Amino acid sequence: MLRRSPPDQEGKASLPQQETDIGIYRPSTFEGLGVTTSWWGARQIAFDYPAPLASIALPLTSAVGFTLTSDVDALQDLPHYAASAMDGWSVSGSGPWLLVPHAPRQGGITELKEGQAVAVFTGGLIPKGATAVLREESGQVLEGAASVRHLSLRPEAKLGETLPGSHIRPAGEESHAGEVLIPAGTVLTPAHVALAAAAGHNELQVQNKPTVDFVLTGSELSTSGRPGPGQFRDTIGPALGSIIPQLGGIPKGQLHIGDSYDDWLSALSGSADGRNSDVTITTGGTSRSATDHLRTAITDLGGNLLIDGIAMRPGHPAVLAELPGGRLVVGLPGNPLAAMVALITLAEPLLAALANKPFRPTDLVASGKDLDPFPDQTRLVPCSLVQKQAMPTSYTGPGMMRGLAQADGLMVVPPNGIRAGGLVPVLLLPWTSTQIQ
């Protein structure tokens, strides 16, 4: 996987300043790797480090939801032949007509002569020499001698029923060969795929999406039902499969492991299940106790720590690393809210960069409450948006999910705090439908 080189300070676009009523909070620009990083710097590093994945050709059946990297042109006129718009008869002239069992072929070309008609169905080829299509409900067939049949208009047929061109879809009516039907940059829908098929395509060139697998750790982790004493329920695992597509990735399998060093080493090396994803997201093991082996395993596998801790609460032990071969690792803390905040902080910009999507900025919103200073730490506070104000939700401890479930976004509270009415950066949650006006 190709990487962008970390830019120097002069070549780096500085992060936006966030203005509040307590002055200008200036987030740091691109920071040194391997040190505790600001929240602003961590998001920018996660976005700036990887280069976008290469585009790929996908069959039409797999292309919905991907972004086109090349225009889709009409490979031929659409439709590529004059076609009937109705069930009925192709007719030549004003009638009545001699009904032929099939259109004769003259010099290899299907052709009607003046005064002839032949049955046709919707979408059927219009023979050469046909001047119109007579709708089935407007014509009547009369049997003559020697099984000769004639077609004529019904008395109640509308005037102009067989004027030249009536009920014929001319070749190229929808598009001509070479015309751009779907421009590059379009996120493909089922309708786009159907149009591409009509235009003659079997596959489309699209921006590849990063694949993501998960390593969920903890011998006390319970994956179903009510956890017993000393156990806790896995809260992140059930959500990851739905969050990752919202962030631009493709979720793969989940692997549950214990807390031992060997478990970590096997899981990160991929030897446990032969994984070959672009990104591995882990939970737990990011603290620095004797039972936390993420960093050691990464180092022993020859990997590099790109972000080793973030100056934020919750989620400060989060890690971003690269393993030999290019696989990226996002290490989330074990506490549920801390893990979710770290996921949005690191995985969102990382996956956006790999999928060639834009960096998602924060918005400035008036704080609905005083929030105390927290020296040297950016606090990420779940909030709801009420009457153009950001109101902190309740139940926002690092192990709680109730407050996040009620939230529209995260208030990015600077170390010097914020007063009610002051402007505070807010990052909307990836799954919220709320808009900041």
The answer to whether the CB of 369 falls within 8 A of the CB of 420 is: yes
Q: How confident is the model at residue 238 (pLDDT cuts 50, 70, 90)?
A: confident
pLDDT of res. 10 = 29
Query: Under a CB-based contact definition with an 8 Å cutoff, are residues 269 and 329 in contact?
Result: no
**Mean pLDDT over residues 81-89, rounded?**
93
Mean predicted confidence (pLDDT) in 90-117: 82
Mind listing the pLDDT tens digit for each residue in 162-173? Answer: 999 999 999 999
* Distances 182 to 96, 163, 202 between C-alpha atoms, Å: 45, 35, 15
pLDDT of residue 423: 97
pTM of the model: 0.80
> pLDDT above 70 covers what percent of the chain?
85
**Which of 180-189, 221-230, 323-332, 389-398 shows the lowest per-residue confidence on average (mean pLDDT)?**
221-230
**Whether 159 contacts 139, CB under 8 Å:** no
Whether residue 382 is predicted with pLDDT greater than 50 in this model: the reply is yes
Partners of 175 in beta bridges: 78
CB 333, CB 339: distance < 8 Å: yes
Q: How far apart are CA 81 and CA 376, in angstroms?
A: 70
Q: Which residue has the higher pLDDT, 229 or 44?
A: 44
Lowest average pLDDT, out of 18-32, 171-185, 316-330, goes to 18-32
Mean pLDDT score of the chain: 86
Q: How confident is the model at residue 285 (pLDDT cuts 50, 70, 90)?
A: confident
